[in-house]
């Protein structure tokens, strides 16, 4: 059970449970799979926290093969009922508390959802697949993050054998959940795959994350809060390329294997903010560089990881996946989407967001 096993042929699924599908990445995954896997019925289980938004899936809500269920992955009774009703033969688990800054102010929510929620889901899947005698044909796919590997210095890349060294409550909770998923594979023989991806960007991302937050603030001529000196590095991947990697791993990933996903696309935060200023100012017909004056260096994130960068060669060599767009193409598409979807931005930033934003950035200057 320790060596990863290749599937005999690409897998197909009759009935997939996708958790966290109303969030940023999950909504792209669902939209993609409804298009590319016509035989598969998809149930999206999402608690609709502040980060979940059914408007992200408005274009597919009437699709014959799509069902939405509002609920929490920690609710074992609900999960058991859903497995009984839908006879899932696969799970793509994305539901999580996902924002590092929020994990610093409210760590317990992250431990509960990301660790206990994942364990609850694994337990119900194990029970259901054992009772139905279909464990060997099923698959539990856990979507995780490169942050489990900790922080890089100026050199080097994370590979699948980089030791885990999480440093924030968020990354510690994701690392724990990875370990629990592997434990279900080794102990109970549950077929699993895990992927660890770098920073995603694209449409429908909640504007607490760097790129949509900066786009919104440039448009509205608000301060652009850059943590520390802006020298931290992130490796950015277009969300639709993450969704394509998830499909490849779902259908062809070796059981028990781990795949790092990334775009070899490292940017210092300050350079990325300058690039966004250039793009947004040009589209708003503002003179070049107008919004540079909005850049405000603020108090650094506690325990801020210096650099993430992914070696995705295992995924490319074993399953043939590569990103489909350049950063220029992906970022232009992303900026255009936010400029053309001001109503979406207004909706997600009404209500609680105002309070979060005011509290989070208060006294950082």
The catalytic residues are 146-147, 170
Which residues are CB-neighbours of 138 under 8 A, at least 6 positions away?
Answer: 88, 89, 90, 125, 129, 190, 191
Residues 123-162 touching ligand DAU, rule: CB under 6 A, are 145-147
d(CA 20, CA 37): 19
Query: Pairing state of beta strands 258-261 and 224-227?
Result: unpaired
d(CA 86, CA 95): 19
User: Which part of the chain contacts ligand DAU (CB under 6 A), choosing from 35-43, 98-106, 151-159, 326-334?
Assistant: 98-106
Smaller CB separation from ligand DAU, 37 or 200: 200
How many residues bind ligand DAU (CB under 6 A)? The answer is 19
Using rule CB under 6 A, residue 241 touches ligand NAD = no
Using rule CB under 6 A, residue 216 touches ligand DAU = no
What interhelical angle do 210-220 and 327-340 show, nearest 10?
50
Least distance to ligand NAD, CB of residue 244, Å: 14
Smaller CB separation from ligand NAD, 103 or 128: 103
Instruction: For residue 82, give the DSSP letter.
Output: H
Using rule CB under 6 A, residue 312 touches ligand DAU = no
Residues 226-265 touching ligand DAU, rule: CB under 6 A, are 226-227, 232, 234
Name which of ligand NAD, ligand DAU, none residue 232 binds, using a CB cut-off of 5 to 8 Å depending on partner kind.
Answer: ligand DAU
Cβ atoms within 10 Å of 90's Cβ, excluding its own: 23
Name which of ligand NAD, ligand DAU, none residue 20 binds, using a CB cut-off of 5 to 8 Å depending on partner kind.
Answer: ligand NAD
Residue 91 buriedness (CB in 10 A; 0-12 / 13-18 / 19+): buried
Residue from 36, 104, 38, 34 nearest 305 by CA: 104
User: Which part of the chain contacts ligand NAD (CB under 6 A), choosing from 93-101, 161-169, 179-187, 311-319?
Assistant: 93-101
Name which of ligand DAU, ligand NAD, none residue 234 binds, using a CB cut-off of 5 to 8 Å depending on partner kind.
Answer: ligand DAU
CA distances from 261 to 111, 125, 197, 319, 326 (A): 24, 25, 4, 12, 15
Name which of ligand DAU, ligand NAD, none residue 269 binds, using a CB cut-off of 5 to 8 Å depending on partner kind.
Answer: ligand DAU
Q: Which member of 63, 283, 286, 301 binds ligand DAU (CB under 6 A)? A: 301
Using rule CB under 6 A, residue 198 touches ligand DAU = yes
Residues 142-181 touching ligand NAD, rule: CB under 6 A, are 143, 145, 174
Smaller CB separation from ligand DAU, 268 or 286: 268
- Joined together, the tokens standing for residue 149 give 């590997």
* H runs (alpha helix) in the chain: 24-36, 76-86, 100-105, 107-110, 118-131, 169-188, 210-220, 239-252, 269-283, 313-319, 327-340, 342-348, 352-361
Q: Which residues pair with 195 in a beta bridge?
A: 143, 259
Which residues make up the interface to ligand NAD (CB under 6 A)?
19-20, 22-26, 46-49, 51-52, 72-74, 94-98, 113, 117, 143, 145, 174, 197, 199-200, 206
Which residues make up the interface to ligand DAU (CB under 6 A)?
98-100, 145-147, 198-199, 209-210, 213, 225-227, 232, 234, 269, 301, 308
């Amino acid at each position: 059970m320790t060596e990863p096993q290749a599937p005999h042929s690409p897998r197909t699924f009759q009935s997939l449970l996708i958790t966290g599908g109303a969030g940023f990445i999950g909504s792209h995954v669902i939209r993609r799979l409804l298009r590319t896997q016509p035989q598969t019925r998809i149930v999206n289980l999402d608690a609709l926290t502040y980060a979940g938004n059914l408007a992200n899936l408005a274009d597919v809500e009437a699709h014959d093969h799509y069902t939405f269920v509002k609920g929490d992955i920690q609710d074992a009774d609900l999960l058991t009922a859903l497995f009984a009703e839908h006879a899932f033969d696969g799970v793509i688990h994305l539901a999580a508390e996902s924002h590092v800054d929020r994990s610093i102010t409210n760590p317990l929510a992250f431990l509960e959802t990301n660790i206990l929620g994942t364990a609850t889901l694994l337990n119900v899947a194990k029970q259901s697949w054992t009772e139905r005698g279909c464990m060997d044909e099923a698959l539990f796919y856990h979507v995780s993050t490169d942050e489990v590997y900790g922080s890089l210095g100026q050199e080097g890349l994370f590979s699948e054998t980089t030791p885990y060294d999480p440093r924030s409550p968020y990354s510690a909770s994701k690392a724990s959940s990875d370990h629990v998923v592997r434990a279900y594979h080794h102990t109970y023989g549950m077929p699993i795959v895990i992927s660890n991806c770098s920073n995603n960007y694209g449409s429908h991302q909640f504007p607490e994350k760097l790129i949509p937050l900066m786009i919104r603030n440039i448009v509205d001529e608000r301060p652009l809060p850059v943590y520390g000196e802006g020298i931290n590095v992130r490796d950015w991947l277009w969300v639709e390329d993450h969704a394509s990697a998830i499909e490849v791993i779902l259908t062809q990933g070796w059981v028990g294997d781990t795949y790092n996903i990334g775009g070899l696309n490292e940017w210092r935060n300050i350079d990325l903010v300058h690039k966004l200023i250039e793009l947004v100012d040009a589209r708003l017909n503002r003179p070049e560089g107008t919004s540079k004056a909005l850049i405000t260096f603020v108090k650094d994130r506690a325990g801020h990881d210096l650099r993430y960068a992914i070696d995705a060669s295992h995924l490319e060599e074993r399953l043939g996946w590569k990103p489909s767009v350049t950063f220029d193409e992906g970022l232009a598409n992303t900026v255009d989407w936010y400029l053309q979807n001001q109503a979406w931005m207004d909706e997600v930033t009404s209500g609680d967001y105002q309070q979060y934003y005011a509290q989070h950035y208060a006294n950082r200057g």
